[in-house]
Structure 1
């Protein structure tokens, strides 16, 4: 659903349930492929289709295989949904397509499909609108074009189609937001917190808001739990060993706590509260989510897959270590505040590493978490936005240089750093007088966007610079 142009993206658009490892390179292409097969159905063309061609451009071509873009495209074309699909099918179905050279298009018709030839990686070419461009083309038995569509995955799982016009299903909101200044103005006039402003806006779009937010948190905490209770290596040629469980288990003990999320959280709450142990747990929580993400597990974009560990880790800190009583309402309010900040970044700058480097992912998620934690701990709206500014200020210029095109190194550890920075920023802001702040959230967002535009392309999720070329590893072509 589109919203009117005078407000930011919905919180429930910022937080999307999906499959790893990348929101822009996995979830976005998955959704684009779903849209294409659905377009074929709507136009009564699917029975005519005998073959398909998928062309991936720019960043999608350069790091697509490492990010599972090919897998995502196949899953979307067979009309599997990333929210509900059996996670085991994400590996099984593409393997069957590769071996059998048959694709069940739209879950309606089998067509010939050769993974090696029918998905093209056009690494030296880019489409004009965004680095993450893709073209889907369907042909009939005589190889005449039936339908061709161009899509762009613009970050955070958002997809736009070339030539797409705004829809008519516009929803008005009582408190339009385009900037941090707008947020503060609404809070000043109403006396509301940021969460209350967000709740009023979201209620006009989503009557079942709280149940939707509770479902988001359920997926988030399950991804932390899964990552903290599994051992072994992550998929791919790097041989990265899962590390989260080995950090958590010596602190909390209780082997049987691995049996349920509830028992595990209760044991976390009983854990020692020394600085070094809390620091290890927060780092482990963030890494756990991204170890699941790297394993094609189910996570929540926050605001992206690559940064999906920051907000769950900080929210768990809030629940287990803040000393405050945190109910479902406080958890939902945390997500609402985080979503508002994420929406401002998305609409004023970018949340795509292919556009802005990792500052657009880890930096944004850290800012979102910092603002939410500050309000949860009793901070004012101005202190909350100050916390977001502090967190982003210390991520400016962060590059995206995944080794082997995989969302593993340095991505997993960066989530723990983003979480710790968010907590630090929140505690700094809540102890400060925001009226004396020199840097505003809006000015740091502007600086982040200017930095993104000036950043060399090789540091924008292309694996052409930084660690990706300076660390010698044996990987397949990315």
Structure 2
């Protein structure tokens, strides 16, 4: 008998169940509560009745405030998510056991979090969260010094408590062969006061920095999203144009006469004030730009032992020298800048520095590389075009996450770089004035030609092949957008079909090709 996870006890279990594993999922509909859909918040829709005659519960589609979030590298699922889990556990402890004397803490990492956790700095991320830091605001100096500070003092300080004795080698347990029922990326945190267990909580990092927490009996668990207060408030409001497939998105655009970015903005501003939406996009844009500049300015070798040299500074000098000398470029030489932007961001990500999940950290360079190309090389580019780019890209990313996955540990790199490429292609086509059909076609082309990509990082690091792969995908995104814009939007393979194909391909892919570093390049490239 198939085990299934219940959501909220107030929901109708028959209509609102979440499969234990991604392999059991079906494509999302407005009334299928998949993990990604829950993360945007289930919303009671007053006056709407389904076949049962009962008031229905539906999820709001994921949008720009969900799909683009500021964090630190090198991984959204293995760094940002675990850090959020650690911070949540610290808050939980403060609420449950104020004034207690924590005598010991234990961190158990399961599945892919354990398999590539050291290379992805998962252990450090959890410690940062337990120490009260968030991925959005932690300083890079704190990130770089966290492990040394704990090792030198022999303690970890949870906010509101006295320092707790902590030895990383003893108190962080890596369990790569143990897979918890709900998701391959799991961690359990425990705290004791002497023999008394103060708290124990299990979390699932499901990709893109999204985190689920396990509630109730572990033998028959229920899951719920970790949401910020702002997200929880937004979840109480139904958006005017709910969509969970590209087909429905196109229908709504046809019915309303709106472009994809206009419809997405209407949904966003139903949940939060428009100035807040604009401010979020402005910050996302600023962090992307800062990461590019930092990557170009920073020389040296990336951490982790592979001795990968940063290439962005050298490429930047070469491109700038050619420009200054009045070099007559061929028509494709502008792509050198696209490659530069992607390399710069992904080298910053590999160093554990601040970037934007877009939709993940491992794929963080694709969207900003194409967006920066639009701003610097497309005549007539505007700030409104930048906003439209992000809104349309997020709409496409939300469809992918709701119906398949953006996690390399679930579906391989096709879910990470493939999704980013689809988002960038859609955003670029939107910024260039594409019709909804052309934008959907651009996303489909980019995703179709990313099918089958494996996630086999050498040494468990987000460096080889990840950094170059972002550059390749950024160029592909631009090409996909132009191919779509040369047509009228009509095409044989729909975006929904290619997303479902990606999901099925990911389910058929051996686990050694899904962020475990046990196959592919990870075992065929000799680490020096």
For Structure 1 versus Structure 2, the TM-score category normalised by the shorter chain is over 0.9
Partner secondary structure for residue 56 of structure 1: strand
Deviation of 1:274 (Å): 3.3
**318, 333, 336: which one aligns with 2:388:** 333
2:422·2:446 contact (CA, 8 Å) conserved in 1? yes
1:109-160 Cα distance to aligned partner (Å, 9 max, x none): 210011001010012111111110000011112x321110000000000000
**145, 158, 164: which one aligns with 2:223:** 164
Aligned to 1:349: 404
2:97·2:198 contact (CA, 8 Å) conserved in 1? no
Aligned to 1:277: 333
In the alignment, the residues of structure 2 paired with residue 453 and residue 251 of structure 1 have an alpha-carbon distance, to the nearest angstrom, of 42
Deviation of 1:273 (Å): 5.8
Q: Which moved more, 1:96-105 or 1:160-169?
A: 160-169
Aligned to 1:138: 191
Partner secondary structure for residue 434 of structure 2: coil
| TM-score, normalised via structure 2 length | 0.84
1:6·1:177 contact (CA, 8 Å) conserved in 2? no
Partner secondary structure for residue 109 of structure 1: coil
Aligned to 1:2: 41
**110, 114, 128: which one aligns with 1:75:** 128
Aligned to 1:182: 248
2:212·2:224 contact (CA, 8 Å) conserved in 1? no
In the alignment, the residues of structure 1 paired with residue 160 and residue 300 of structure 2 have an alpha-carbon distance, to the nearest angstrom, of 34
Aligned to 2:290: 222
In the alignment, the residues of structure 1 paired with residue 66 and residue 88 of structure 2 have an alpha-carbon distance, to the nearest angstrom, of 17
**297, 307, 316: which one aligns with 1:248:** 316
In the alignment, the residues of structure 1 paired with residue 251 and residue 299 of structure 2 have an alpha-carbon distance, to the nearest angstrom, of 49
Partner secondary structure for residue 88 of structure 1: helix
Q: Which structure 2 residue ranges, 5 or more long, are not aligned?
A: 1-39, 44-57, 215-221, 226-231
RMSD: 1.7
1:35-434 matches, cutoff 5 A? 35-45=88-98, 47-106=100-159, 108-141=161-194, 143-162=195-214, 163-165=222-224, 169-207=235-273, 208-253=276-321, 274-323=330-379, 325-434=380-489
In the alignment, the residues of structure 1 paired with residue 327 and residue 129 of structure 2 have an alpha-carbon distance, to the nearest angstrom, of 42
In the alignment, the residues of structure 2 paired with residue 407 and residue 419 of structure 1 have an alpha-carbon distance, to the nearest angstrom, of 17
Aligned to 1:260: none
Query: Size of the alignment, in residue pairs?
Result: 458
Deviation of 1:275 (Å): 3.1
| TM-score, normalised via structure 1 length | 0.93
Aligned to 1:257: none
In the alignment, the residues of structure 2 paired with residue 276 and residue 248 of structure 1 have an alpha-carbon distance, to the nearest angstrom, of 16
Measured at CA, do residues 60 and 430 of structure 1 come closer, stay the same or move farther in structure 2, by a change above 3 Å? Answer: same
Would you tell me which structure has more helix in proportion to its own residues? 1
In the alignment, the residues of structure 1 paired with residue 382 and residue 170 of structure 2 have an alpha-carbon distance, to the nearest angstrom, of 52
Deviation of 1:45 (Å): 4.4
Partner secondary structure for residue 124 of structure 1: coil
Partner secondary structure for residue 64 of structure 1: coil
1:21·1:68 contact (CA, 8 Å) conserved in 2? yes
In the alignment, the residues of structure 2 paired with residue 232 and residue 165 of structure 1 have an alpha-carbon distance, to the nearest angstrom, of 42
Q: Which moved more, 1:233-242 or 1:169-178?
A: 169-178
Deviation of 1:165 (Å): 4.3
Would you tell me which structure has more strand in proportion to its own residues? 2
